[in-house]
Amino acid sequence: MIQREQFQQAGRFRLRPSKVLGLIHLTGKKRSAANAQPLAYNFQADQYEGRLFNTEAGHIFGLRLGGVNESENVVPMFAHVNRRDFRELERQVEARYTAGSSHGLCISLAYGDADEPRMPTQINVQMLRDMAIRDDGTFDGHIVYSTGIRQDVPVVTRIAIDAHMQAAFEQARSAVAKGWRLEQVGNVNSAGLPPEGRRPYAFLDYLVFNPNDTVSMDGIGQFARFQKFSKAQRSLVALANRYSQPGARLGECWSDEADDPVKTALLDLGSDSGVEIDHIVPMSRGGYNAFSNAQVTSRKFNGSKNNNV
């Protein structure tokens, strides 16, 4: 059962979900192939406006718990809320669920931001045992778990700079500036790499072949064409990016791509401004998963790049 309330924005009356009630049925389903759009975006039947920046279509009653993929069960959520906080909520619910029981959820939504009334600012969740839901929206049951999730605006993280790490990076950059390049160390096809002037992390490849005790290369592995970057590679590129920023940006992560529409510091989790490690020469066109072919972009830019270099 989904209860709705009316609100007004830009002279239009709209609806948004205010409470969701339902019995839990574990499905294991993580997401739908095509998520429904939030009910609050809909100001005319089947006509949806653009998505709010840095938000995703988040299911209030999760699909893996038996929720439905319908607009009434969807609200705009920041990525860190949808992918971190709600995923942890689902883990807690699954841990307390007993097959064959009448466990259910009561999820209440509050909208406290007058400037953006389509997005809930607080989501309160109760898990109940022996839950019985009446037609009028009232219910009985014994609370076994409760939590509240705030939709706080995502915060940019800035790391502390280690002088030894910075020195190791600078030494490697100096070697690249003096002419070192990846093609010197093996049978490398330049067609899988960008021009030398577009290799912001070539110095990390230098460190692969000239190890430094300060910079760990654990998990990096060998590079090849048509291959994804490993988790260790992505983490190291993002770290090096933070060490490469000038002035007040030092310690933050910013896009390397001049055409990136996101002109702010990137987020560890963000639907638009999230950190992405991009193949400059696309993987589908034979690009290497070498640091010399990596750049940091926003998720928004990388998602629209397709096979362009």
How much is the pLDDT for 308? 64
Does 158 reside within a domain?
Answer: no
In this structure, the answer to whether residues 108 and 238 fall within a common structural domain is no
- Contact (Cβ atoms closer than 8 angstroms) between residue 296 and residue 266: yes
Q: Give the sheet arrangement for strand 104-110, strand by strand.
A: 2-9, 12-23, 104-110, 122-133, 139-150
pLDDT tens, 3-22?
999 998 878 889 999 999 99
In this structure, the answer to whether residues 262 and 286 fall within a common structural domain is yes
In this structure, the answer to whether residues 138 and 184 fall within a common structural domain is no
The domain in which residue 301 lies consists of: 163-305
What DSSP assignment string belongs to 178-206?
TT--GGGGS---GGGS--GGG-TTHHHHH
What would the two tokens of residue 64 be? 């893996």
Does 61 reside within a domain?
Answer: yes
pLDDT tens, 140-182?
999 999 999 999 888 899 999 999 999 999 999 999 999 999 9
Does 284 reside within a domain?
Answer: yes
pTM for this one? Answer: 0.80
In this structure, the answer to whether residues 112 and 201 fall within a common structural domain is no
Which among 150, 171, 191 is the end of a domain? 150
In this structure, the answer to whether residues 126 and 266 fall within a common structural domain is no
How much is the pLDDT for 17? 97
In this structure, the answer to whether residues 226 and 101 fall within a common structural domain is no
| N-to-C CA span, the chain | 48
Res. 69 pLDDT band, cuts 50 70 90:
very high
Give the number of other CB atoms < 10 A from CB of residue 258: 5
In this structure, the answer to whether residues 57 and 102 fall within a common structural domain is yes
What would the two tokens of residue 16 be? 């948004």
As a whole number, the mean pLDDT across the chain is 92
What would the two tokens of residue 274 be? 């999230």
Number of domains composing the chain? 2
Does 155 reside within a domain?
Answer: no
Which among 90, 118, 150 is the end of a domain? 150
In this structure, the answer to whether residues 106 and 189 fall within a common structural domain is no
Which among 116, 150, 184 is the end of a domain? 150
pLDDT tens, 174-210?
999 999 999 998 789 999 999 999 999 999 999 999 9
pLDDT tens, 14-64?
999 999 999 999 998 776 667 888 999 875 655 557 789 899 999 999 999
